[in-house]
Structure 1
Amino acid sequence: MIINLRQICFLLTLSIQLNRFIILDNDILDYYCQIIDSFINILYSIIQSDNKINNKLSHSLIGTIIPNLYTMTLSKQLEKYIQNKHIISLILKLTNFENDEIQLNAFKILSSITTEQETKNIDTSDNIADLFIKFLNKVIDDSNQTLRFYNLLRCLKHLIQYDQIKDELTKQNGLPLIIRCATDIKFKPLQVQQPALEILFALTFNKEAYQQLVVALVDDLDFVLSRFLFFLIIRQDSF
């Protein structure tokens, strides 16, 4: 049953994964909103269950639902709908599950639906940094995990705006990984290098990270500047 549900969810969210700027017409939007409501109701039922932590079926259901719930946040229309459901407290409870995949996807959802003040109130910055470093290392060279790689960088780009995340990413030696994303020519400029450069730029507002970046990027300065100018030109053309 779980396998069939995963396959159905994958097919339902595939178009959003491939094109997050897609505009859903009203009928399709309503259909997705009903799915979101069902997902949220299931999650509430699991959280309120007495044996939620040890129940393998519950873990499997959560493991199926939350990555697809995150995928729906890639659509601006659905992201707004999910934000209006006020589920931050629910998703925060999922971060307590002792399962890296569940925790990571919960944090990815939070990165999309929380405001700056709400993010500041999330006292799990060390865990967030650890999970993102762990999973970026896992997928960075895996050609079968390309979309996940892009989405991880997208989420981290949002979360890195907050000081506690900057601190933890720096403390946990995450900078070399982000520098590689920004400077390795095998990565796509828009999907990988641009968000990585934006993450590095945000990190320059952290004193320790800034000092590390000055040393680490001195040999790649010309490349970084050329990439930065390239993205400035692209952004100018979009105005």
Structure 2
Amino acid sequence: MCPHYILYYWSKQREEVAQKVCDKMFNFYVETLESLVPDIAERNEPIVRCLRQIIALICYIDSNEIKVEHYEFHLKTIDLVLHVLTSADNLFVRKDRRNKLFSKGLSQILLRYINAKHAGHVQFNTYRILAVLMNETDIKTLTKPRKITALFKTFFEKLIDDPYRQLRLRSTLICLKTLAQHGEIKHEMVAQDVLPLLIRCATEPKFDVVQRQKYSLGLLWTMTFNDEAATILKENQKFMAHVKLLLRSDEQDLRKVADGIMWKLDKKAQFMAKQERDQSVIQVLASSTYKYDITIKIYVVKYEISL
């Protein structure tokens, strides 16, 4: 089946069809790339277009478990894509392939693309990949938090109501959760009004509870560590009611996220208040006991003197 047809087959079954075809054809596609990519600079436009469509289709296999027979081909794909990036100057990544990417210096290669002019898609996808590759310390070194947040908001608004691009929405939520470890990005997400979009994704029935809501809730849990965001979420009655319902979910991951959110927004304050009350009681009791002990000692001394 033609990759071009699948990529532009705009229906709810598009992602499912793409996954199945890619699973069957993945090794063949990689072999095709392997034969054409080394001389990509000399290829004409139709060949380059075909390569682009094959690479786009390969991305769909990442939503499935990687089969043993595909593993070596995934490593080859990394090399081939890096070759395109470095020679032409012109992948949402699993943990077991990150070391390969790090050893190839992909982060440094990608940093060239974050300032690409008039290429919002290039910048957006660059930050998505960097979010997967970078650790928390690296994330906090990223500059231009306002620009990063604006980019993600723009594409988030396009994806949230598009029923045919829900895989992209899910991966965007995961990447944004990583980027939100940056305190300034948290601040910008509040300032640029990103929270209402996340709340929609976390509460609206049209979003699959496990595949979509879980990731938006995870991101909102991260946002509760920003005081302003925590206040906004706590005052949203619909959101709080939804999270409380999830405390009884059959899905363990959902219960864990819901409990984490409730702890930050409600239970922690109650716990701290109780701790303060208990401490006050202890201090009062200690003070009363001290006075009582002094009274007894004075009485005993007076009694002994009178004897």
Hey, what does 1:96 align to over in structure 2? Answer: 115
Confirm or deny that 1:38 pairs with 2:80.
Answer: yes
Q: Answer with 1 or 2: which has the greater Rg.
A: 2
Instruction: Supply the distance in 2 between the matched residues of 1:127 and 1:4 (Cα, whole angstroms).
Output: 32
User: Structure 2 residue aligned with 1:109, among 115, 129, 132?
Assistant: 129
Does the C-alpha gap of structure 1 residues 219 and 10 become closer, same or farther in structure 2, counting only changes over 3 Å?
Answer: closer
Confirm or deny that 1:178 pairs with 2:198.
Answer: yes
Instruction: Supply the distance in 2 between the matched residues of 1:219 and 1:35 (Cα, whole angstroms).
Output: 45
> Normalised by the size of structure 2, how large is the TM-score?
0.63
Question: 1:100, 1:131 within 8 Å by CA — same for their partners in 2?
Answer: yes
Tell me, what secondary structure is at the counterpart of 1:31? Answer: helix
Instruction: Supply the distance in 2 between the matched residues of 1:96 and 1:157 (Cα, whole angstroms).
Output: 22
Hey, what does 2:227 align to over in structure 1? Answer: 207
Task: Report deviation, 1:230.
Answer: 2.1
Question: 2:247, 2:254 within 8 Å by CA — same for their partners in 1?
Answer: no
Hey, what does 2:48 align to over in structure 1? Answer: 2
- Percent identity for Structure 1 against Structure 2: 30
AA in 2 matched with 1:148? R
Confirm or deny that 1:87 pairs with 2:106.
Answer: yes
Hey, what does 1:221 align to over in structure 2? Answer: 240
Question: 2:233, 2:239 within 8 Å by CA — same for their partners in 1?
Answer: no
Hey, what does 2:218 align to over in structure 1? Answer: 198
Question: 1:95, 1:106 within 8 Å by CA — same for their partners in 2?
Answer: yes
Instruction: Supply the distance in 1 between the matched residues of 2:247 and 2:147 (Cα, whole angstroms).
Output: 30
Question: 2:140, 2:181 within 8 Å by CA — same for their partners in 1?
Answer: no
Instruction: Supply the distance in 2 between the matched residues of 1:34 and 1:232 (Cα, whole angstroms).
Output: 36
Which deviates more from structure 2 when the two are superposed, residues 225-234 or residues 87-96?
225-234
Question: 1:183, 1:223 within 8 Å by CA — same for their partners in 2?
Answer: yes
Instruction: Supply the distance in 1 between the matched residues of 2:134 and 2:250 (Cα, whole angstroms).
Output: 27
Does the C-alpha gap of structure 1 residues 231 and 168 become closer, same or farther in structure 2, counting only changes over 3 Å?
Answer: farther
Hey, what does 2:22 align to over in structure 1? Answer: none
Instruction: Supply the distance in 2 between the matched residues of 1:117 and 1:199 (Cα, whole angstroms).
Output: 18
Runs of 5+ consecutive residues of structure 2 not aligned to the other structure: 1-46, 257-307
Question: 1:179, 1:196 within 8 Å by CA — same for their partners in 2?
Answer: yes
Question: 1:197, 1:228 within 8 Å by CA — same for their partners in 2?
Answer: no
Question: 1:194, 1:231 within 8 Å by CA — same for their partners in 2?
Answer: no
RMSD, matched Cα? 2.2
User: Structure 2 residue aligned with 1:155, among 143, 165, 175?
Assistant: 175
> What is the CA deviation profile of residues 107-130 of structure 1, one whole-angstrom value per residue up to 9, with x for unaligned ones?
010010001111111112212211
User: Structure 2 residue aligned with 1:29, among 67, 71, 87?
Assistant: 71
Hey, what does 2:275 align to over in structure 1? Answer: none
Number of residue equivalences: 209
Runs of 5+ consecutive residues of structure 1 not aligned to the other structure: 48-57, 59-69
Instruction: Supply the distance in 2 between the matched residues of 1:218 and 1:236 (Cα, whole angstroms).
Output: 19
Hey, what does 2:60 align to over in structure 1? Answer: 14
AA in 2 matched with 1:43? L
Hey, what does 1:138 align to over in structure 2? Answer: 158
Task: Report deviation, 1:168.
Answer: 1.3
> What is the CA deviation profile of residues 110-159 of structure 1, one whole-angstrom value per residue up to 9, with x for unaligned ones?
01000111111111221221111111110111112111111111211222
Task: Report deviation, 1:86.
Answer: 2.3
Does the C-alpha gap of structure 1 residues 234 and 45 become closer, same or farther in structure 2, counting only changes over 3 Å?
Answer: closer
Does the C-alpha gap of structure 1 residues 233 and 14 become closer, same or farther in structure 2, counting only changes over 3 Å?
Answer: closer
Question: 2:179, 2:185 within 8 Å by CA — same for their partners in 1?
Answer: yes
Instruction: Supply the distance in 1 between the matched residues of 2:215 and 2:250 (Cα, whole angstroms).
Output: 10
Instruction: Supply the distance in 2 between the matched residues of 1:197 and 1:33 (Cα, whole angstroms).
Output: 32
Tell me, what secondary structure is at the counterpart of 1:144? Answer: coil
> What is the CA deviation profile of residues 200-220 of structure 1, one whole-angstrom value per residue up to 9, with x for unaligned ones?
1111111111122222x2233
Instruction: Supply the distance in 2 between the matched residues of 1:234 and 1:117 (Cα, whole angstroms).
Output: 26
